[in-house]
Structure 1
Amino acid sequence: MTAEGDTLRERMIAAAVVMTTGEGWARVTMSRLADAVGVSRQTVYNEIGTKNALAEAMILSELERFLARVTDAFDEHPDDLPDAVEAAILAVLELAQDNRLLHAVVSATHGADTELLPLLTTHSTQLLELAKLVLRDRVGAYDPPLTPAELDGAIDMVVRVVLSHVMAPSGTPARTAASLGFVARRVLEG
């Protein structure tokens, strides 16, 4: 799961993800993480901070993977904003479908291990803002025929609806992306 050039912090986050998906968040301790990475517990605290900071780091690391898929989708559709939006939605939903950390967080498969869930739901402000920032940057390059307020509203709606489908899918990624893409096309084309 870790690459040769990963930083110590990245290795710690990757090890925490493996522990969380394999045994549950409740079993992750700074001592066990230190042992898994081969450093002292103090080094883990110095590099990561608290267990809550570790949880946030894991979620933000996964978010980076999702946002990379969004960026790739927009790069593949440089001349068609609605197609880029639909492709980005599909890419996110497909990645979510097989994401072990996301499944561990959402399903709480390890007993009452739900400490991570608020990072994706009630305390998701940082996650939402980062996703909206990336999407705003990518969408803005297409110069859509919307006012800034309309564009912000559309982006907020897309991010929140996609997150909702990530958390509780209602159909296949392809079907959901097509449905949401239809709505995005109507909004973006007027």
Structure 2
Amino acid sequence: MTVPSAASTAPVAIRDRVLDAAESVLTQQGWGAVTMARMAAAAGVSRQTVYNEIGTKNDLAEAMILRELDRFLAGVVRSFDENPDDLIGAIRDSVRRVLKYAENNALLHAVVSATHGADTELLPLLTTHSESLIAGARLVLGERVAAYGLGLERSRLDAVIDMVVRVVLSHVMQPSASPAETADDIAWVAEHVLSRDSAATA
């Protein structure tokens, strides 16, 4: 998944420097302390260059969030690649990997603080982009799950994938157990739902 912005063809080094600087300021001082001029200084470029590479401050927030989503989804892809013949094992391992990565993720903690009202400027942006984040996760998971040839109707498979994505995201935002325990629980639910639907369509 790529960040949908006009800067997608820009030099990677400059773009990443700006995003790294923004993430550092956000996690340490809050979204209100993130300014385009400050990001330009931290990246060693002009403010106009930051606008050319990233866009507006809203675009900067979106780019940061989507870059982090790409990192989460890279773990999902790796889990499925490592379990080509075991769908439930792939789901279990991908959930565990995502939740483990989320445990000490400073950017995620800043986002969670925003959802709890600590950063009123960032919260509306997160709300606006929440559906695109879910859609991106569903797309990647859907492509992987489809390769296992379950024989389910597409609408049923999409419903299962949507359930898994939303449950995992809820645990990312507010964990209730260890990553391994939660992964076992979600995999158990997915296995029973998929086996029941597969039997019904057989």
- Unpaired runs of 5+ in structure 1? none
Letter in 1 for 2:97: A
Aligned match of 2:30: 24
Which residue, 68, 71, 81 being the options, matches 2:74? 68
Change (3 A) 1:118 1:186: farther
Tell me if structure 1 keeps the 8 A contact 2:92–2:186. yes
The Cα offsets for residues 18-53 of structure 1, whole Å up to 9 and x where unpaired, read as 111121111000000000000111111111111010
SS at match of 1:7: helix
SS at match of 1:31: helix
Which residue, 30, 55, 58 being the options, matches 1:52? 58
Which residue, 89, 94, 109 being the options, matches 2:100? 94
Aligned match of 1:185: 191
Q: CA deviation at 1:13?
A: 0.9
> TM-score if structure 1 supplies the norm length?
0.91
Change (3 A) 1:47 1:122: closer
> TM-score if structure 2 supplies the norm length?
0.86
Aligned match of 1:140: 146
Structure 1: distance between partners of 2:125 and 2:168:
16
Computed over aligned residues only, the root mean square deviation of the Cα atoms, in angstroms, reads 1.8
- Number of equivalenced pairs: 185
Percent identity, please: 61
- Unpaired runs of 5+ in structure 2? 1-10, 197-202
Matched, 1:129 2:147: no
Structure 2: distance between partners of 1:128 and 1:113:
22
Q: CA deviation at 1:122?
A: 5.7
Change (3 A) 1:181 1:121: farther
Deviating 4+ runs (over 6 angstroms) = none
- Identify, as 1 or 2, the structure richer in helix: 2
SS at match of 2:175: coil
Tell me if structure 2 keeps the 8 A contact 1:120–1:127. no
